[in-house]
Amino acid sequence: MGPVTDLLNAGTDFVTAQLAIQRRSQPLEIGCMRDKGFDFQPIQLSREQIRRDGYTSAFGTRIAEKSFREREGYGVTSSLVGITGDEATAPEQIRGYGQMSLTEQQAADKALEQCSVAGVKSLSIPAVEQLIDGWAEASARVGSDSRTLATAQACSACMRASGYVVTDENSPVDQLDEKARLMLEAGDVNTPQAKALHQEELAIAKVDWDCRVKHVNKIRAQVRDEYEGAYLNDHPELVERVRAEMQKIIAQ
**pLDDT digits over 180-217, tens only?**
989 988 888 899 999 999 999 999 999 999 999 999 99
pTM, rounded to two decimals: 0.76
pLDDT of the residue at 223? 96
Collapsing DSSP to helix, strand or coil, 40 comes out as strand
Q: Determine contact, residues 216/145, Cβ cutoff 8 Å.
A: no
**What whole-number distance in Å separates Cα of residue 50 and Cα of residue 43?**
12
Q: What are the distances in angstroms from CA 189 to CA 53, 183, 192?
A: 27, 7, 9
* CA distance readout (Å), 231 to 132, 186, 204, 235: 11, 50, 36, 6
Task: Give residue 85's pLDDT.
Answer: 56
- Tell me which residue of 192, 188, 143 sits closest to 169, measured CA to CA: 143
Give the pLDDT confidence score for residue 135 in this predicted structure. Answer: 85
Cα–Cα dist 189/78, whole Å: 10
Strand partners, 94: 40
Please state the domain count of the chain. 1
Query: φ, ψ for residue 123 (rounded to 5)?
Result: -75, 5
- Domain encompassing residue 247: 3-251
pLDDT of residue 20: 85
Report the pLDDT value the prediction gives residue 170, as an integer from 0 to 100. Answer: 85
| Cα–Cα distance for residue pair 184/180, rounded to 1 Å | 6
| Residue 168: count of CB within 10 angstroms of its CB | 11
What is residue 123's predicted lDDT score, i.e. its pLDDT?
62
SS3 content of the chain, % helix, strand, coil (to 5): 75, 0, 25
CA distance 124 to 249: 11
Q: Could you say which residues of the chain have pLDDT below 50?
A: 87-88
The CB-based long-range contact list for 114-121 (8 Å cut-off, 24+ gap) reads 114/32, 114/36, 115/29, 115/32, 115/33, 115/36, 115/40, 116/25, 116/29, 118/28, 118/29, 118/32, 119/25, 119/26, 119/28, 119/29, 119/32, 120/21, 120/25
- In angstroms, the CA 86 to CA 112 distance is 15
Average pLDDT, the chain: 87
Name the helix (H) or strand (E) containing 214.
Answer: helix 192-215
pLDDT of residue 127: 87
- Whole-number Å distance between alpha carbons of 252 and 240: 19
